[in-house]
Structure 1
Amino acid sequence: MYRRLIVPGALAASLMLAIPASADGYSPGAPGIGDPYYPAYGNGGYDVSHYDLRLKYQPKTDLLEGTATILATTTQDLSRFDLDFGLKVSEVRVNGIRASFATSGDEELEITPAAGLPKGTPITIVVRYSGKPSDVKLFGFTSWARTPDGAVAANEPESAAWWFPSNDHPRDKATYDVSVAVPDGTQAISNGVLTSTTSQLGWTRYNWRSDKPQATYLATLAIGRFDITTGTTANGLPVVNAYSKDLDPATKDAARASVERTSEAVEFLEGVFGPYPFNAVGGYVPNVSAGFALETQTRPFYSPKFFTKGSNVSVIVHELAHQWYGDNVSVHNWADIWLNEGFASYAEWLWSEKEGEGTAQELADYVYAQHPADDPFWTVAPGDPGAAHQFDDAVYDRGAMALQALRNAVGDDDFFAILKGWQKEHAYGNAQVGDFVKYAERVSGKPLADLFDTWLYQPSRPASPAAEALGFKAARSVPQPRSWPAIARAHSGSRI
């Protein structure tokens, strides 16, 4: 997990200066989609519907060769547009005709088609490229991890720019076909369903399809030698789990004892959030040194570090909960991260409640008691934490406390109706924190703005009387729930 700080005002001003007016009425698309935390993320002027990625990767040299075919529709009269990308491009075509291109900044690929593109025009963009992703640093870091036998692309808030060109922001979701050729004996894992494999001249090609809208940071690629288990859920959903062959044996056993409970966890979460929204499920544990887990759509990524001290189903529940909160309903801006992390963390608390290892209320009381009023924990506002604190513990744990406060305020019937109804109302789309507040008020019939302001936006500990009024114990000492060590172990890396 990497965080990079951008000064919004200064960068936004520079981006505006980079967009000259066009004499014929057509104008360039903005080189940023308008996210206050990350002004350079994403682009304006078009909306992507599908990515078709045809790749070839050599693990020994880290050479990636690719052809990306992008289907999109213009949203303005467009003279030029950007894609976010870091590798070397050799050719770009727009609607079959060669387009000129240039690069600027860290990841802007500026494309000028042969003629202007009217608003509402379907366009096909083909980008041919190659390079060694591990040699590429964007904004001073890399999201491409080499492994002893391959590589992994997984990170938040971005990882796409190291392996395919895109409109790199959650607001522009699309479907994916990912086809990857690797040397025989090596496997390639991505999102969705494995539709076919073919072998020719020492190379095996794996073809993956993700048929529901997916944010760019949720696209993943793992190449290496894996032990793979397959199956189906009770509802017939295909399950694919993978573990690097060279993991420490004890770690691999603990990982399997955790990840292989994916179907059980999905069944539980369907009772909380409603029907699972995608065409496949599973998880993978590659041999990487990274310390985080990530909700890559249909196939979460788990660092082996989560399992070095034994099994941990809590982190599995967390990442699977994101399939609803974060993947199905995605953030509108990165400031809305509570809609991802608060809910996935609360899912861990609900799992604890189901397992008889501590109720959600007991966990909320314990977290509240662990952080006195002068603890900096309370200065982070989960509803708008800022880019520098987007993945701080408060976003997760104070964010989960906010949901317990909501549950206590509206009662279980309305609370769980809100969790499920929200998914239907915003399925495969994006939303903001304010949208959730209004939705909760509509379902419950209660004014909730003050509650959310207290728990999500005030840079201070909710006062004891207010907390006690919502069912929290304000005692200095609260017994530790049995599930807390497993939940806390997820903090040793990061649950993102």
Structure 2
Amino acid sequence: MHRRLIAPGALAAASLLLAIPASAAEASPGAPGIGDPYYPYYGNGGYDVSHYDLRLTYRPSTDELSGTATISARTTQSLNRFNLDFLLDVSEVRVNGNAARFATSGEHELEITPKSPLAKDTPVTVVVRYSGVPSTKSAYGFTTWHRTPDGAIAADEPEAAWWWFPSNDHPSDKATYDVSVAVPDGTQALSNGTLQSTSSQRGWTRYNWRQNKPQATYLTTLALGRFDVTTATSDGGVPVLNAYSKDLGDNDGAARASVERTGEIVDWLSGYLGPYPFSSAGGYVPNTTTGYALETQTRVYYSPKQFAGGSNTSVVVHELAHQWYGDDVSIAGWKDIWLNEGFARYAQWLWSEHEGEGTAQELADYTYASHPADDPFWTVAPGDPGPDNQFAAAVYDRGALAVQALRNAVGDETFFAILKGWPKSHAYGNASVGDFRAYAEGVAGRSLKALFDTWLYDTVRPAQPAVASARGTAPVRPASWTKIQATNDVHGG
């Protein structure tokens, strides 16, 4: 028999291992991506955020942004390292009060190593101090931080947060927000939710905004500049705050004629989609050169180009419909984008009907007839379009055709019950196209697989249009068609 000798140092090390909790001994790094196949490195694994507290200072003359982000989260695995998505320069990171090591990797990853491993299913507080010039940062060859003559705005999809706050940047990890921003007197800071307070001291004014309902990171916006702000309350009791850059020029009148109808449109949409889900509504129009609009939660971003041809309430309807379909109920993954865009487009069709400019059925007929069988339009599957076609016209128009097909298949009473019931059934959460189909089947009392396959997944033109009855003549172009089509690229450049 041979006795194995253990050196004193090795014995001490073995004793130390025995003293480490099993969860810590099993700790591993969180994944650098949350698992979305469209964007493998967006979001992160290992934790779930519940709240972001952002306390910032911005200098519009130099585009310098500095501040502290305090992130409240809970671990979903035992972690010895985890990532945040971020681009600015970090000076300090603390985890649960202790200094943590940090490094950058990849295009937009901030890797954090806490002093001690974090056990699974425990609360964690992360503090990140940072500064930088967002307009000098890029990832994957682009930026979503947009300079204006008097400041800047952060509003883009599917990413925008990296340029101004560290985050778990994926719509499946929603959180509440406190956004506090100090700017020189005369400059304003706008964000989501409600303005809690303002205070001025030594030439600076601090704006404190709060979003008290869960919000996806890409729906979190920041606008810095000189604005004319209007406030009102809709007939339905929803507070409305809109803002317009003071240098919009010729687009100013049309922008106001459109966005100032926000309260009216919110109340109208509530009749179809259920009670408005947030504490405030509104939009802002900064002096940017981008061409898109975005449904940033409670405070929609509109490019002035949306109003270059005159007023356009249709784009306002589209973005406000997203407050239910996309913001209240957010997508589980980016392949589920039809749940956002198909229904926002369909809301425009309902608004056309309301305005006497063409019924939803007439718009469906004309859309179908506008795309012959060999049109590449039909090769895009709205139910899973792929990252290159995520915002293709087919996701909007064929997506709305799918909604009309559902309406024709189940009848108006059941359809409008589905339309209104869905946001309530998944309020403030996330859902997939499969979840919606299951919900619709539950309300309709029958399988809808063939319909969903035909309109959302097949890559050929359906044999029959989404109509209640065949028509013998070519459909006439509805009066609303041009303005609706002008919003086909609301998320494009």
Same fold at TM > 0.5: yes
Superposition deviation, residue 234 in structure 1: 2.1
Equivalent residue number for residue 202 of structure 1: 203
Partners of 1:331 and 1:32 in 2: CA distance: 17
Task: After superposition, give the CA deviation of every residue in 1:391-444 in whole Å (9 maximum; x if it has no partner).
Answer: 000000000000000000001111011111111111111011011111111100
| Alpha-carbon shift at residue 472 of structure 1 (Å) | 6.0
Equivalent of 2:480 in 483, 489, 493: 483
* Whole-angstrom distance in 1 between the partners of 2:489 and 2:190: 26
Matched residues in 2 for 1:459 and 1:179: separation?
A: 47
Alignment of 1:261-300 (within 5 A): 261-300=261-300
Equivalent position of 1:344 in the other structure: 344
Q: What are the within-5 Å matches in structure 2 for residues 317-332 of structure 1?
A: 317-332=317-332
Paired residues of 1:369 and 1:475 also in contact (CA < 8 A): no
Matching of residues 128-207 of structure 1 within 5 Å: 128-207=129-208
Instruction: Call closer, same or farther: CA 1:472–1:300 in 2, change over 3 Å.
Output: farther
d(CA) in 2 for partners of 1:225, 1:160 = 22
Compared CA separation, residues 97 and 23, structure 1 to 2 (3 A): closer
In structure 2, the partner of 1:85 is 86
How far is the alpha carbon of 1:214 from its aligned partner?
0.1
Residues 315, 193 of structure 1: alpha-carbon distance in 2 compared, 3 angstrom cutoff: same
Tell me which moved more, 180-189 or 486-495: 486-495
The answer (yes or no) to whether the contact 2:181–2:189 under 8 Å persists in 1 is: yes
Q: Which has the larger radius of gyration?
A: 2
1:446 shift after superposition? 2.1
Per the alignment, in what secondary structure is the counterpart of residue 477 of structure 1?
coil
CA deviation map 1:67-125 (0-9, x unaligned) = 00000011111111100000010000011110000110011100011001111111110
Distance 1:369 1:100, change over 3 A: same
The separation in 2 between residues aligned to 1:125 and 1:245, in whole angstroms, is 38
Q: Which moved more, 1:416-425 or 1:389-398?
A: 416-425
CA distance in structure 2 between the partners assigned to 1:495 and 1:273 by the alignment: 26
Secondary structure in structure 1 of the residue aligned to 2:328: coil
- The 2-side partners of 1:293 and 1:476 are apart by 36
Amino acid of the residue matched to residue 398 of structure 2?
R
Indicate if the aligned counterparts of 1:318 and 1:495 stay in contact, CA closer than 8 A. no
Corresponding residue for residue 109 of structure 2:
108
Count of matched residue pairs: 471
Q: In the alignment, is residue 394 of structure 1 matched against residue 397 of structure 2?
A: no
2:51 alignment partner AA: H
Give percent identity, aligned residues only: 70
CA distance in 2, matches of 1:438, 1:62: 48
Q: Counterpart in 2 of 1:44? A: 45
Aligned partners of 1:491 and 1:420: how far apart in 2?
24
Instruction: Check whether the contact 2:236–2:267 (CA below 8 A) recurs between aligned residues.
Output: no
Q: Which amino acid aligns with 1:251?
A: N
Answer yes or no: is 1:30 the counterpart of 2:31.
yes
Confirm or deny: 8 A CA contact 2:56 2:66 kept in the other structure. yes
- CA contact under 8 A between 2:24 and 2:78: conserved in structure 1? no
Tell me the distance in 2 between the aligned counterparts of 1:456 and 1:311. 32
Partner of 1:120: 121
- Asked if the contact 1:369/1:474 (under 8 Å) is kept, the reply is no
Are the equivalent residues in 1 in contact too, given 2:58–2:66 (CA < 8 A)?
A: yes
Structure 1 distance, partners of 2:298, 2:470, is: 38
Contact (CA 8 Å) 2:67, 2:129: kept in 1 or not? yes
Q: TM-score, normalised by structure 1?
A: 0.93
Q: Give me the CA root mean square deviation.
A: 1.4
Q: Show the counterpart of 1:445.
A: 445
Q: Is the 8 A contact 1:360 1:404 kept in 2?
A: yes
Unaligned runs of 5+ in 1: 1-21
Q: Offset at 1:495?
A: 7.4
Pairing 1:433–2:433 present: yes
Per the normalisation by structure 2, the TM-score is 0.94
Distance 1:239 1:331 in 2: 25
Counterpart position of 1:383:
383
Task: Check 1:130–1:474 CA distance in 2 against 1; reply closer, same or farther (3 A cut).
Answer: farther
CA deviation string 1:182-213 (max 9, x = no partner): 01000000000000000011110000000000
Give the 3 Å change call, closer, same or farther, for CA 331–475 of structure 1 in structure 2. farther
Equivalent-residue separation in structure 1 for 2:441 and 2:73 (angstroms)? 36
Question: In 1, distance between residues paired with 2:187 and 2:239?
Answer: 22
Give the match's secondary structure for 1:490: coil
For 1:399, give the aligned amino acid.
G
> 2:424 is paired with a residue of what secondary structure?
helix
The secondary structure found in structure 2 opposite 1:318 is helix
- Of 191-200 and 439-448, deviating more is 439-448
Deviations, residues 228-282 of structure 1 (Å, cap 9, x unaligned): 101112233221100100011x311000000000001100110111011111100
- 1: distance between equivalents of 2:488 and 2:41? 29
* Structure 1: distance between partners of 2:456 and 2:122: 41
2:319 maps to amino acid: E
User: Structure 1 CA distance, aligned partners of 2:239 and 2:410?
Assistant: 37
Q: Partners of 2:424 and 2:247 in 1: how far apart? A: 42
Equivalent position SS for 2:487:
helix
Which residue of 1 is the match for residue 18 of structure 2? none
Q: Which residue type is aligned with residue 275 of structure 1? A: P
Q: How far apart in 2 are the matches of 1:224 and 1:474?
A: 53
CA distance in 2, matches of 1:147, 1:475: 52
Aligned counterpart, 2:227: 226
Name the amino acid aligned to 2:188.
Q
1-side partners of 2:157 and 2:471: how far apart?
Answer: 35
**Mapped contact 1:294–1:495 kept (Cα < 8 A):** no
The Cα shift of 1:355 comes to 1.2
Give the Cα separation in 1 of the matches to 2:38 and 2:248.
37
Once residues 460 and 252 of structure 2 are traced to their aligned partners in structure 1, the CA distance between those partners, rounded to angstroms, is: 42
Helix, strand or coil at the partner of 2:25: coil
For the Cα contact (< 8 Å) 1:365–1:472, is it kept in 2?
A: no
Counterpart code for 1:216 = T
Amino acid corresponding to residue 165 of structure 1 in structure 2: P
Asked whether the equivalents of residues 369 and 476 of structure 1 are also in contact (C-alpha less than 8 Å), the reply is: no
Cα distance in structure 2, aligned partners of 1:477 and 1:384: 31
2:251 counterpart residue number: 251
1: CA distance, partners of 2:325 / 2:492: 14
Aligned to 2:468: 471
Letter of the structure 2 residue corresponding to residue 305 of structure 1: K
List alignment gaps of at least 5 residues for structure 2: 1-22
